[in-house]
Structure formats: structure tokens, C-alpha cells
Structure 1
């Protein structure tokens, strides 16, 4: 039922679900979702290999991502794992969202948030602070449209600057990232970001989820 709901979605900034596949990976029985191959790769790849991406193209990618999120939230579907690896650039250099709807596919699990950091290793830097339960082994909230908006702000920062929000490496890097996000720590405004866009970013990664704008409002300001 959940996969059928994904397949019914149709939007230029959402990767189409072609089908599923099994028989690979760990644990056994893991289901993979199949979508079109996109030779340009992910947003992260394009930003890393094309240092001369003009501002107009960067802004267009932000709008594409925002359009895709707005569409998902309208249905309503929470992406739940919005990272630069889950934004692909198609042959027409259009940004499309993929690997979304984990909250639907995993909807039968009642302890999703308690295992959030284990299930999404590497995605911590893009996740809203309210998703990290305190203490870590307790049950916190599931991903929401508001947590998607926070992740979108982190993507905006990356697209504008070419840098990750938290450039932490080494032991306990993800734990340190969670602590900084949870305490409301955010980077200072870089000179490369116009004041009006910085204001939008700050609203989108507000500490209180209820203070974050809806994606329809974000689009109007892009």
C-alpha cells in the first residue's frame, strides 16, 4: 500500500518509483526502490565537481527542491531524510527528490525515532534537532514537515556556500553535531549569502518547529 502511494505521485521534482528489487545488501530481505538513472548524480556531486555553478542555477535548484517538498507535504508525505545525496540532478539539470517517504514505508514501526541516528548514519548533519531523543535510547518524535523544512535550510546553506553546515570529522563527530544543533548553535552569516536569503534560512532552521515556515511560504520568498 505504501509503495503504491509513492507510485501514484507525479511531479517534475519527484523521482518516479519504477519498482522494487530484493536479494542484495544487509540485512537479508532488504527492499530496494528503483528509479531512473541520472548521470549527473547527486546535488552533492554536482556542487563538488562544478565549482562554477552560477548563482541563477543554484537558486533554481533550491526552487526545485522546495517545489518537490511542497508537493510531498500537500499529500501529505514527509521526506524524512533530506540530504544532498537524496537530491539528484537529472539530464536537464533539474533537481529531483528521491529516497523520500521513509515515514510511510516504515509507518508500522513505533520506535522509528529511537533508532533514527543508527538508521541514518551520515544524515545527522541535515536532521532537525528535535529528532534526536534525549536520552539517546528514548523515543522521540518522528520526522515531520517541520523537520523537512529544517533540512531544507541546511541544503540552502550548502548550495550557497559549497560547504557542509557542520564540517566535523573524527571520533564522535555525529554526537558533537547533534549537541550543537540541539543547543541552537548555528553558523554565522557567510558573506556569500544575501541578507534576504539568510533571513529565510534562519527562519527555516529555527529551534522551535512551530516557528518554521511552510514550504509554500518558502517558495514565495525564493
Structure 2
């Protein structure tokens, strides 16, 4: 575990971007076996806690732009996040989003093409890319997925869905990981939420579907960022 934490520290120390939470330092308690990491305090908690029904659409779209900008920066540094979920997007005092938790990205290379990826890496189930989810038939030990930047883009689509709708992916499946895992094994994508932000706004849903397309057909992070900027500007003009 300490090796993993040290690798995360090395990755995090090399990052500097407005949409990435800053690593301020580390701390080691002789009575505690692990290294602690000290980062900026984010006044508004994580994205899942911050997204409320009354949040204006342009602000929601700004948050999606922030997430995509942070992701584009990571990919430009050859860092795959690997765990992009609403819990790993933090909101600062100004309401802007910053990405955190690069632990999975820092150990990805050591376990690529092994069953460890199947069981551990790829983020929370509801945000996980279909291509790194074990198939319905066969043993997980025989499934050796590869974590790629395209996996992060799939997760970006899922995070965008939650930002715009206020509902997590597979919102119609109860809080049961086994049922979500079954949906992933069946290659079922999340359903379109019946929320005001998505009803009658096909361009937003189309963007999400692009992120959920086959890995080789997904936009890269920079392209996704540009698309979201355009959608945000259109929303501002419509006010």
C-alpha cells in the first residue's frame, strides 16, 4: 500500500492546473503506518454533494467544462485518471470543479493486462467503461482489460450525465452493485434520465452518447472540452 501511495505522490507532485486539486505536501505519523497527503481544502465538497436541483444550467455546463479541462490536462501529461467519478470531482469556494485521486492512474502500469484491472481498476461501477467490465460469461481471471484514455472519456460522459440531471448513472437500478455489474456485463449503457436539463435537449444527450460510443470512436479529452465549451456558450446566449 505504501508503494502505491508513493507512486500517487510522484504523479500528483508533477501536476499543476486550475482544474486539478493541488498537492501541498505529505505527512508521516510514526504511530500510523501510511503516508498522508495534504491538499487544498474544497469548501463545497464533492460533485455528488454539490449538484442540486436549483443549480442553473450554465453553471452545470461550466462544471462539465472544468472536468473536461482537467482531464485534457492529465492526458497531455500521459496520465490516465482511471477513477473519474462524481466523488473524485471536488468543488472549490467559487463553484469550480477540480479533479482529485490519481491513485489508480499511478499503479495502472504495474497491473495492465492482468485480472487486477478487472477487479480493482476502472473506477466505481456506475462510471466504469464497458470495455473494462468483465463479460457475462467466462472467468474474471481470464479477462485482461487495458485501461486507456478512452476509458476516462466514457467516465466523463457518465459524470456529465450526473452533472446535468442530478442523477447518477443507472439511476433506475437500486443501490446494488451486483445488479449494476450485471448491466455492465450485458454491455447495457445507462438510460436517459427524465430530468428537466435533458428533456428536449438532444445535443446534451448526444454528447454523452459520443463519450459512450466504442472506444476508438470517442472524442479525445481536448475535443470533448471544446464541445462542452460550445454547449455552455449556447446555453448562456439562450438566457
Aligned to 1:152: 156
1:12 aligns with one of 11, 15, 18: 18
Distance in 2 (CA, whole Å) between partners of 1:29 and 1:143 is 30
Unpaired stretches in structure 2, ≥5 consecutive residues: 1-5, 229-239
Contact 1:38–1:91 (CA under 8 A) maintained in structure 2: yes
How far does residue 181 in structure 1 lie from its aligned partner after superposition?
Answer: 2.8
Aligned to 2:144: 140
Aligned to 1:102: 104
Is the aligned partner of 1:169 residue 2:171? no
Unpaired stretches in structure 1, ≥5 consecutive residues: none
Contact 1:23–1:29 (CA under 8 A) maintained in structure 2: yes
TM-score (norm 1): 0.84
RMSD (Å), alpha carbons: 2.6
TM-score (norm 2): 0.78
1:72 aligns with one of 74, 79, 91: 74
Distance in 1 (CA, whole Å) between partners of 2:78 and 2:121 is 23
Distance in 2 (CA, whole Å) between partners of 1:195 and 1:108 is 41
Contact 2:118–2:140 (CA under 8 A) maintained in structure 1: no
Contact 1:42–1:88 (CA under 8 A) maintained in structure 2: yes
**1:183–1:116 CA distance, 2 compared to 1 (3 A):** closer
Structure ID, larger Rg: 2
Contact 1:18–1:34 (CA under 8 A) maintained in structure 2: yes
Aligned to 2:236: none
1:59 aligns with one of 48, 61, 69: 61
Distance in 2 (CA, whole Å) between partners of 1:57 and 1:45 is 15
Contact 1:113–1:131 (CA under 8 A) maintained in structure 2: no
Q: Deviations over 1:58-110 (max 9, x none)?
A: 00000000000000001110000011110000111110000025222454345
Aligned to 2:88: 86
Q: Deviations over 1:164-195 (max 9, x none)?
A: 1113335xx22321232343323146463211
Distance in 2 (CA, whole Å) between partners of 1:220 and 1:51 is 26
Distance in 2 (CA, whole Å) between partners of 1:114 and 1:129 is 16
